[in-house]
């Protein structure tokens, strides 16, 4: 069985001490609360959850940067606590955000540095760096300092850095934060390439559409627990089921009538704006038609947020950002 999984996590808990300085007392803050997760080799696995769910904490533990409070985690069969060097050799990490790169160095120098720390040198290092710069579309800016890069470009450098050690397992923590739509599309094709190269990818996100598009399986995480592991088809079903229909204004009696349609979940009004939330596929289209027939013309539909899906599917308030 061990051979089958690239990442195996059992009963993983992480508690952060609360309070400041030496007076760290109290029960602590539970960031991960008994996580079980198995990622198959060659799989692109999504970890989908709202802010504060524990995604980054999980990535840090897998990358040996943070110790678990209890439970075990293995990468390619190597324990993240006891066999750190084996884990570090086989893993690449991309932590999202602007930080984590040397702004004063160029993109090429950044990659050379990290490549060297993965044991590459000489020609092998140069070739690897050139290939990666090409791959993330930065060849033209390779010798510019990273501090002058846009967020999206920095994110590409981050991605290249994660790949510089030719890792079998890649952790991507919110990799598309700050990317423009074009870059995000490129990113999706990059993940496709990684899958074709038979790498295992664990990618965290709070964007359902992204998770649906790139992942083979998606685990939903909230408040430090895995709620479910689903194929992306389940997500796309939720996305079409729980659509939103917004209108800037509508006659009260029309709203009252539409509220009774089967498949219309909740209706909320704010400053005259009305939002219908559907719970069945196809109902959104029906609503739009009905509204247009009533003469309400400026109708917009949108995809549900992750929080809404959590609310509908798991029946609790996923909206709260956990502290």
Ligand X SMILES: Nc1ncnc2c1ncn2[C@@H]1O[C@H](COP(=O)(O)OP(=O)(O)O)[C@@H](O)[C@H]1O
Residue of 11, 13, 29, 280 that binds ligand X (CB under 6 A)? 29
- Of 71 and 100, which has the nearer Cβ to other proteins? 100
Which of 190, 205, 130, 200 has its CA nearest to residue 159? 190
57 binds Mg ion (CB under 5 A): no
Q: Which is it for the CA torsion 66, 67, 71, 75, positive or negative? A: positive
Q: Among 117, 228, 256, 320, indicate the residue that binds other proteins (CB under 8 A).
A: 117
Site residues (CB under 5 A) for Mg ion, limited to 234-263: none
Which residues does 33 contact at the CB level (< 8 Å), separation at least 6? 13, 54, 223, 224, 225
* Position 171 contacts ligand X (CB under 6 A): no
Count CA within 13 A, CB hemisphere, residue 166: 9
The three-state secondary structure class of 82 is: coil
- 192 binds, options other proteins, ligand X, Mg ion, none, Cβ within 5 to 8 A by partner type: none
Cβ atoms of residues 273 and 248 within 8 Å:
yes
To the nearest 10°, the Cα dihedral for 29, 35, 40, 46? -50
List, as one string, the DSSP characters of 179-202.
Answer: --HHHHHHHHHHHHHHHHTT-EEE
75: helix, coil or strand?
strand
Report, in Å, the least distance between residue 29 CB and other proteins: 11
End-to-end CA distance of the chain: 37
219: contact with Mg ion by CB under 5 A: no
56 binds other proteins (CB under 8 A): yes
Name which of 127 and 302 has its Cβ closer to other proteins. Answer: 127
Rule CB under 8 A: choose which of 5, 114, 187, 242 binds other proteins: 114
Q: How far is the CB of 249 from ligand X (least distance, A)?
A: 37
Distance CA 241, CA 220 (A): 18
Site string for ligand X, 44-83 (x = CB under 6 A): -----x-xxxxxxx--------------------------
> Which tokens is 288 given?
């739009």
Phi, psi of 16 (to 5 degrees): -95, 140
Q: Smallest distance from the beta carbon of 323 to ligand X, in angstroms?
A: 5
Shortest reach from residue 218's CB to other proteins, in Å? 24
Considering only 31, 73, 179, 227, the residue that binds ligand X (CB under 6 A) is 31
Which residues in this chain contact other proteins in the complex, by CB under 8 A? 16-17, 56-57, 60, 63-67, 85, 88-89, 91, 93, 95, 97, 99-105, 109, 113-114, 116-119, 121, 161, 165
């Amino acid at each position: 069985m061990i051979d089958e999984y690239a990442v195996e996590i059992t009963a993983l808990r992480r508690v952060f001490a609360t309070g400041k300085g030496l007076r760290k007392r109290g029960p602590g803050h539970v960031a991960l609360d008994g996580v079980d997760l198995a990622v198959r080799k060659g799989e692109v696995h999504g970890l989908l959850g709202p802010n504060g769910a524990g995604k980054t904490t999980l990535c840090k533990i897998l990358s040996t940067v943070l110790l678990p409070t209890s439970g075990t985690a293995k990468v390619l069969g190597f324990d993240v606590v006891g066999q750190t060097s084996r884990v570090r050799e086989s893993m690449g990490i991309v932590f999202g955000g602007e930080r984590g790169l040397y702004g004063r160095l160029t993109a090429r120098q950044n990659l050379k540095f990290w490549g060297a720390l993965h044991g590459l040198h000489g020609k092998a290092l140069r070739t690897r760096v050139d290939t990666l710069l090409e791959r993330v579309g930065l060849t033209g800016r390779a010798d510019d300092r990273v501090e002058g890069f846009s967020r999206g470009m920095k994110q590409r450098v981050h991605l290249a850095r994660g790949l510089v050690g030719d890792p079998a397992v890649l952790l991507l923590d919110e990799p598309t934060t700050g990317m423009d739509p074009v870059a995000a599309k490129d990113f999706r094709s990059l993940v496709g390439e990684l899958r074709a190269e038979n790498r295992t990818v664990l990618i965290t996100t709070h964007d359902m559409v992204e998770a649906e598009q790139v992942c083979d399986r998606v685990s939903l995480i909230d408040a430090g627990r895995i709620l479910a592991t689903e194929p992306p088809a389940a997500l796309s079903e939720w996305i079409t089921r729980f659509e939103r229909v917004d209108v800037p204004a509508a006659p009260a009696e029309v709203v009252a009538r539409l509220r009774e349609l089967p498949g219309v979940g909740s209706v909320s009004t704010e400053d005259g704006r009305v939002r219908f939330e559907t719970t069945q596929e196809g109902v959104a289209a029906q609503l739009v038609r009905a509204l247009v027939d009533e003469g309400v013309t400026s109708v917009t539909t949108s995809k549900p947020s992750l929080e809404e899906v959590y609310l509908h599917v798991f029946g609790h308030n996923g909206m709260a950002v956990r502290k």
